Amino acid sequence: MNEDEIRWVLYVHAAHRTGTMAALAGVFATRGVNVDSLATGFTAERSGLVVVLFHASIRRQQMLTRSVERLTVVDSVSVRRADDLGVRASAVVHLPVGQEFTPPAHAGVRWSGQTDLGEPILVEGSLTDVEVVVDAAVAAGAGAYALVVQPPNVR
């Protein structure tokens, strides 16, 4: 990764049909950009939503965004820097039974669960802060976690 590359989150509202994911992945693949994470879901309107995390320079991000917007299966696209506090995420983290864990104090997240009782913890906040908590949990022995970037404007 080059030092001028930034981590981005691309929110793509697209048709929920065969070939949509292939077309979207093809935009990144043919331009030599690795996708860090790709997840599908639905919005309240039940349209297909694809959330893509990737690293690119500002110029390359703009080119990728324009290329995705031109796909016939795409309805709309929005992009944000991954470190934007408006990029929200949730994670579920499983630690070993009996392992006490509290998220780092500097991570501005909401969380619930008592790991010392064998419960998973649920964490919600900015993507950056949620990733800080997941990293701390992994360092404390977490063996499994799931992280989801929420659709825009979900609080």
Residues 36 and 25: their CA atoms lie apart, in Å, by: 12
Tally the residues of the chain.
155
pLDDT tens digits for range 110-133? 999 988 888 899 999 999 999 999
Burial of 75 (0-12, 13-18, 19+ CB in 10 A): middle
Strand blocks (E) in 15-143: 35-42, 48-56, 74-81, 88-94, 110-112, 121-126
Asked if 75 and 13 touch (Cβ cutoff 8 Å), the reply is yes
Mean pLDDT rounded to a whole number for the chain: 90
Nearest residue to 15 (alpha-carbon basis) of 47, 41, 46, 40: 47
pLDDT tens digits for range 94-109? 998 888 899 999 999 9
CATH class of 6-81: alpha beta
**One-letter-per-residue 3-state SS of 93-129:** EECCCCCCCCCCCCCCCEEECCHHHCCCEEEEEEHHH
Q: pTM of the entire structure?
A: 0.87
Asked if 139 and 106 touch (Cβ cutoff 8 Å), the reply is no
C-alpha separations of 63 from 36, 68, 73, 85 in Å: 18, 9, 18, 24
pLDDT tens digits for range 22-79? 999 999 999 999 999 999 886 656 678 999 999 999 999 999 999 999 999 999 999 9
Cβ neighbours around 59 below 10 Å, total: 9
